[in-house]
Each structure stands twice: as structure tokens, then as C-alpha cells.
Amino acid sequence: MTERHPTRRAVISKMAIAAGLILGAGAMQPAWAQAGRITIGTNPTGSSYYVIGSALASALTEKLGGIAVAQPATGSSVNLPLIASGELTMAVSSSLDGGLFYRGGEGIKPHSSLRTLVRLTDFPYAYLVRENSGLRTIGDLKGKRVAMKLSGNLALESANVAMLASAGLSEKDITNITMAGLTQGLKAVADGTIDAAPMSTSMPIVQELNATIPGGVRILTLDGPNATTTFLSKEVPGLYAFPIEPAPNRPGVHRGTVVTGFDVFLLGSADMPEARAKAVVEALLASWDDMRKKYPQLAHSTVQDLSLPTNAVPYHPGAIAAFKAKGMWSAANVEREQQFATKKN
């Protein structure tokens, strides 16, 4: 994978070294140890993940008294390894990317030190086209130029393949285009260099494209007998059918539409001290009702949803302690964590 921001690692490292010198430290410390500084890896500016990461950073800065910042990159495939190296404190990640990096596979080494802090929201995921393209369903993509592989979000390629498969298509039926990330794919649709790109209906850039592209944009619906959670989850564990309706904050949705969806989590490292992880989770629990009112990307999740057992990465012991204190740790959570222990053994 080629990182589109080659100076990112160097910049983060320099910032860490500078913070260490100010504190009189002789060597680079993990991100969570740097004078209370919290760095949250996200997708690029203009993405839903960046909005979410910024919301989390604001809440943690207010509640914990340190400095928390959202750090944009091309995606989880860039951010998750930086958690293991200590260059990021946390990252916003899908269950698909998190699970892939935790267990390893597809050329990726296992990152077994990843841990879940909170489940953030559900993420409606679909293909976007120009409204004037005449395309209406996933089946209409046959013979079209379609963004499939996202170098910044490797696991999303499997979701893209599953969407095609739900309509009886394969990669052989389309012109397969590789993009760095979701935002780059959407810009390519706007430029007319490709016909369709995957996205979330909550991405701020979708509103911009709908306003600037003549005729606006359209979200393609899944169609056919395989447009079901049963089929999608067999193709990609954690992927499900997600019915959506037209709404002011959903440009491109002109009628009842079925897209795919997956859950989004805040991930950190097992090396984060338990007390620190517990404080992070407690701060988010205390801030959540206000956050979901302010940010549409979080509106679907109640406080109780933050501990849902849909995680593809084990919960951090500090997070578990925070949830137990609030009565938010269920038998289903226990069973899910036992599944991780069984697979490890």
C-alpha cells in the first residue's frame, strides 16, 4: 500500500519528539503519555470519520483537560498500524478494517494489540453516481468505471465486491478503478473520470457534490433476491443490509433505498493504561447525549449503544470497567469476548 501523505509519519514523530523534549523526556513516548495529548486518526477532511474524530477530540479535550486532536489520513489502513507503533493514540475505524488488521490476512500482519474503546455508530455504505447518469441500481453498474479498491481502506474492497455480488455481478463485469480513499473516489465522479464511487450518505462532501454537480447525485440501491443481510454477512462478516429513506441530510436518496452498512468503532492499543482507557470511555459516556444532538453522524447511537457486542476487536479492560460501572456490560458482551479468547488459543 502506498501512503498518499508520505510526510505524515515524520510529522507525527517530530511532534512527539518535541513534546518529549518539553517534558524533559529522553526518548519518544507513546502518544497517550505525551502530556495528556490524544491523537485520533481519521479519514481525510470532508469525510464522516473526520467529523466523528473531531467531535471525539472536542469532547475529550473538554472532559479530560488535555489536548485531543483529529489527525486526517487516507484511511484506517494507514492509521491502525500507527496505533501499534505508538504514533497515534486511537483511530476511528470500521468493524471491517479493524477486524482485518486485528486478525491479519490479505497480506496484512496481525495487529493483536488493537483494542476497542467504544462502538460509535452505524455507517450506511453505498455507491454514488451522477443523477444524470441514468444509473439507479447496483445492477446498472455493468460495463461502468467503478472505484473498487481503496488503498487507504483495504477492507472496504470486500464490501464493494459484496455489493456487486448482490446484483449478480463480479469485478469482471466492470472497469475496476483503484482510489486512495472514499473522498478521492467521489471527486473522480464529480470530475467525470469514473462513473461510480463508494461512500457514506453522511459524508459532508456528498452535500457539496450534490450542490455543484449539474443535476445532483444519486445513491444506488441494492436490488434482487440477494440484497439481504443473510447474503451480505456471508460474503463479509459484519456487513448488513441497511434500508434508508429520503431526508434533508441524505442527498441522492430519492425514494426508499437499500444500501449496505457496518458498525464504526474507536480503537486504541492494549498498551494504553487501564485507567487512561477508562477515563476516555467515561468522558465519552458523559458527553454522548450532547454529541449526538450536535453531529448527525452520531445521531443513530444512544449511550447504551456504545458497548454493543458487534466488535471485531476485543474491548480494552479499561473500557470494560467503565461499561460495567454503568451497567452496560451484558452476557452477550461476555460471550463475544470469550470468542476472541477461544480464537487466540
Average pLDDT over residues 229-244: 93
Tell me which H or E stretch contains 324. Answer: helix 317-325
Domain 8-121+264-344 has CATH 3.40.190.10: yes
Q: Which of 9-23, 196-210, 257-271 has the highest mean pLDDT?
A: 257-271
The reported pLDDT for the residue numbered 249 is 83
Please report which confidence band the pLDDT of residue 36 belongs to, taking 50, 70 and 90 as the band edges.
low
The reported pLDDT for the residue numbered 202 is 82
Question: Percent of the chain having pLDDT more than 90?
Answer: 78
The reported pLDDT for the residue numbered 132 is 97
Global pTM?
0.82
Evaluate whether 22 touches 28 at the Cβ level (below 8 Å): no
Examine the pLDDT at 335 and tell me if it is beyond 90. yes
Q: How far is CA 46 from CA 52, 153, 184, 202, 249, in A?
A: 11, 16, 10, 10, 15
Please report which confidence band the pLDDT of residue 6 belongs to, taking 50, 70 and 90 as the band edges.
very low
The reported pLDDT for the residue numbered 333 is 96
Question: What is the Cα–Cα distance from 9 to 85, expressed in whole angstroms?
Answer: 11
Examine the pLDDT at 26 and tell me if it is beyond 60. no
The more confidently predicted of residues 71 and 31 is 71
* Numbered ranges of CATH 3.40.190.10 in the chain: 8-121+264-344, 124-262
Strand partners for 118: 266
What does pLDDT average to over the chain?
89
Average pLDDT over residues 43-48: 90
Q: Which CATH architecture has domain 124-262?
A: 3-Layer(aba) Sandwich (3.40)
